[in-house]
Amino acid sequence: MAKKIAIFWPGDYRKTPNELALPSITKATLQLEKALKRLGRHSYRIKGYLTKPHESIEKLGPVDDPMIGVYVHWVYGPHTVDGTVGKDNPLLLASNFSGEWPGLVGLLNTSACLESVGRKHSRVWTDSKDWSTDKVFMARLEEWCQTGRIQYPEDEIRNTAVIDKKSLTTARKIAASIRQRKILALMLGDTSMGMINGYFGPRLLPKIGFSEHKIDQAWIIDRGKRISQKRIDDAFRFVVEKGVMFHYGIKGAEDFNTQATKEQLRDYLAVLDMVKEFKADCIGWQYQLGLIPLRPPSDFAEGLLNSVCRPEGNGDTIVDSTEADQGNLVPMELMKRILKAKGMHQGVNFHDVRWGGMHNGKFLWILLNSGCCDAYSFNHNPKILKGVHSYRQPRGYFPIPGGTFAGESLPGKVTWARAYLKDNELWMDVGKGEVAKLPPAKREAWWKGTTREWPFMPTDMGISRDTLMAHYMSNHVAVAYGDIFQETVALSQELGFKVRVLGREL
């Protein structure tokens, strides 16, 4: 491979995150340059952040040298993909492994985006302050420098699983019901924030028993104007009486008050009405970035939709996949149906694979998404909302005040899954894990080291850190309490997915 290597900075579309991340990405780039120099390679930087697709096209398109993107904060997939797709020069995604900034989340999202369009690339990461002293990282970087790719072990990945007769029967019954009446997903907008890996569309969804109906997010604003004040007040009274703890007026959240929550409930009720009108089974809700300057964050509304205990509820959840991510929406809806068929609680959580660390000899992932969690995770009681905490979404990203749907997830066995696109076919990753109970001091350190306002689920996902970092095809994951592993594998296969089973037996 050529010794001359281009280094580029994929960025967020928003100015503030890029500015805040500038010290971190500068430091990481210096470390990468030092590591490449030690390997006898010459590198040069492509000037500035790539913050829009056209910048990626214009700055990366003409480059034929091997390229390395640096991921130390949240970035949009197209800010790498659009300038590299259709090219075959070696491409490496490099990240620090830090919870403070979601760089590894951006790497996973971008890698999955590249995979969805068939662009070959490799991944590499390190948690070392001095990258050149990390022997494993350096060996992987040298492999890429010599061959243009990095090979990772696949010993924790298999394409088969033992399915017992009862689980297979359950899966076939659910599949038959889906074939009789397709699952209708109400899509409020398109994929959010450059996550092209999470959109399957009308050409692929019908093959697995789903259909979509797209609604412009402007409908939320228009319909919301017609929601009566009585419904909003009743909904607010409901969430207060059921136990939500609102953190109004604290430092940094002086503008977060009851009116902000009521505006979030207005949007919840508007979406609820649209679900009823279109007889939709589940929702993909974009929110970002289109509604950020117009409406409060959608997180509190989305948390309620994913909970059995909710205003104007009917005893069921309405699966809501935030950021209009069909890669999570599909497994969430399938897992909900499996849980119901087995007489288990039907709540399924939506999380980011945010960061992790060692605890009691196991690597735990901090699963942490801004608010698309269900209340059951925090209390294991489907009749209440106790354990739900609503904090103001950080104002640096969300100018209009509104709260999260947060809490500490309780310990217990879980099943997780994720759908994704590879080689124009739909795949499903499935695994088993366990949510851990951390000592208070470690819990607070890890939580504050990520985003304290968001729901917290420290989880042994049943696989090593490096297996996930090397092979997982998203920054998102769907998680349900209980063992529905065999049914999820079987139902996915029945509907036509190719399946990967990730992990060791727990």
Give the model confidence (pLDDT) of 307-342 as tens digits: 999 999 999 999 999 999 999 999 999 999 999 999
pLDDT of residue 105: 94
pLDDT tens-digit readout, 234-264: 999 999 999 999 999 999 899 999 999 999 9
**Residue 409 pLDDT > 50:** yes
The domain 165-502 is classified under which CATH number: 3.30.70.2190, 3.40.50.80, 3.20.14.10, 1.20.140.10? 3.20.14.10
pLDDT tens-digit readout, 223-234: 999 999 999 999
pLDDT of residue 289: 86
pTM here is 0.96
pLDDT of residue 379: 98
Please state, in angstroms and rounded to a whole number, the distance separating the CA atoms of residues 407 and 413.
18
How open is the CA angle 72-368-502, to the nearest 5 degrees? 90
Residue 150: alpha-carbon gap to chain centroid: 25
pLDDT of residue 419: 98
pLDDT tens-digit readout, 90-119: 999 999 999 888 899 999 999 999 999 999
Please state, in angstroms and rounded to a whole number, the distance separating the CA atoms of residues 197 and 209.
19
- The domain ranges of the chain are 4-147, 165-502
Long-range interactions of 358-364: CB distance < 8 A, separation 24+: 359/436, 359/438, 359/442, 359/458, 360/436, 362/436, 362/460, 363/460, 363/464, 363/465, 364/436, 364/438, 364/458, 364/459, 364/460
Domain 4-147 CATH assignment equals 1.10.150.20: no
Overall average pLDDT of the 42-64 stretch? 97
Q: Which residues contact 304 (CB under 8 A, 6 or more apart)?
A: 239, 268, 310, 311, 405
- If you average pLDDT over every residue of the chain, what do you get? 96
Helices (H), 214-253: 218-224, 229-241
Question: Are domains 4-147 and 165-502 of this chain identical in fold?
Answer: no
Length of the chain counted residue by residue? 506
The band of 426, judged by pLDDT with boundaries at 50, 70 and 90, is very high
pLDDT tens-digit readout, 258-282: 999 999 999 999 999 999 999 999 9
**Residue 73 pLDDT > 50:** yes
Helices (H), 289-438: 299-305, 326-341, 376-379
Please state, in angstroms and rounded to a whole number, the distance separating the CA atoms of residues 349 and 371.
10
**Residue 505 pLDDT > 70:** no
Q: Which two tokens stand for residue 193?
A: 């924030």
pLDDT of residue 122: 98
Quickly list DSSP for 71-95.
ESS---THHHHHHHTT--S-EEEEE
Q: Which two tokens stand for residue 176?
A: 């038959």
Q: Which residues contact 70 (CB under 8 A, 6 or more apart)?
A: 7, 8, 9, 10, 25, 28, 29, 32, 94, 95
- Rg of the Cα atoms in the chain: 22
pLDDT of residue 506: 43
Q: Contact at 8 Å (CB) between 388 and 381?
A: no
**Residue 125 pLDDT > 70:** yes
CA distances from 88 to 85, 149, 375, 405, 453 (A): 8, 12, 46, 43, 41
